């Protein structure tokens, strides 16, 4: 297990990051100097990363370059990190909205597939499970349009019913969604109230994503909202 969860793990991840930072081939000597290791150790680590699926092109005397692509080496995670990751995916697959739950279950299956058997078995040695299933009405809720609007920084318009069953039409600049076992909360700037507001997603109806982008970056609004909490 030390090969996966020791100093070598940290070194392999550092090598991977060093390659990711460069778009052109870099010499083995430069990499070795940067990481503080010998050339022999570097060549061995390059071979290990290749064996784990990293597309590293090049050879001694020419240099190395990492092909831009998604690569999740299992040695990136410690035993505890693997347990936390798998528990988080299980939580999302249980309490996420419909499309997010399906994506979480798919991601968990992919992660489990690439983990070495020893790591996978070790992560399952301590049963970690989420709480009771979510209410049925949350199972069918799909917040993909909200996430798409946040990603594109687009305004939303919808009808909203408050706790007193009063309805109002809102235009919102959405920038965050809170997921809780009992429900979900959309956070955004409300043009009607001229301030930041929270909206229970199960009280939203007649939702439309507007073509207009909102005038401020979502990261800036998130910071402003967070400072007020």
**Contact yes or no for 103/142 (Cβ under 8 A):** no
Give whole-number Cα distances, 166 to 195, 198, 201, in Å. Answer: 19, 16, 15
Cβ-proximal residues to 184 (8 Å cutoff; 6+ apart), any chain: 97, 138, 141, 143, 177, 178, 200, 201, 202
pLDDT by residue for the chain (229 residues), tens only, comes to: 333 445 677 788 788 888 888 878 899 999 999 999 999 999 999 998 888 778 888 877 788 998 876 455 545 566 777 788 888 888 888 888 999 989 988 888 877 776 666 666 666 666 777 777 667 777 788 999 999 999 999 999 999 999 999 999 999 999 999 988 788 999 999 999 999 999 999 999 999 999 999 999 999 999 999 998 8
**Extents of the domains making up the chain:** 2-75, 77-135, 143-228
Architecture (CATH level 2) of domain 2-75: Orthogonal Bundle (1.10)
Q: Does domain 143-228 have CATH number 2.60.40?
A: no
Angle in degrees, CA 27, 31, 36, rounded to 5: 145
Per-residue DSSP letter, 26: B
d(CA 52, CA 74): 8
């Amino acid at each position: 297990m030390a090969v996966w969860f020791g100093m070598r793990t940290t070194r392999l991840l550092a090598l991977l990051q060093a390659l990711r930072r460069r778009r052109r081939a870099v010499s083995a000597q430069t990499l070795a100097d940067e990481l503080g290791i010998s050339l022999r150790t570097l060549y061995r680590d390059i071979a290990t990363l290749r064996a784990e699926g990293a597309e590293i092109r090049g050879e001694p005397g020419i240099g190395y370059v990492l092909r831009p692509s998604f690569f999740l080496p299992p040695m990136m995670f410690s035993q505890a990190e693997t347990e936390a990751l798998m528990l988080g995916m299980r939580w999302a697959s249980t309490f996420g909205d419909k499309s997010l739950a399906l994506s979480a279950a798919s991601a968990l299956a992919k992660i489990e597939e690439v983990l070495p058997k020893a790591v996978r078995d070790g992560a399952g040695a301590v049963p970690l499970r989420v709480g009771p299933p979510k209410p049925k009405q949350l199972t069918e809720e799909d917040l993909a349009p909200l996430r798409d609007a946040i990603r594109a920084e687009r305004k939303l318009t919808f009808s909203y019913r408050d706790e007193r069953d009063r309805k109002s039409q809102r235009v919102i600049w959405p920038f965050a969604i809170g997921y809780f076992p009992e429900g979900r909360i959309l956070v955004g700037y409300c043009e009607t109230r001229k301030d930041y507001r929270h909206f229970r997603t199960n009280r939203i109806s007649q939702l439309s994503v507007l073509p207009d982008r909102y005038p401020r970056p979502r990261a800036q609004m998130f910071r402003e909202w967070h400072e007020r909490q």
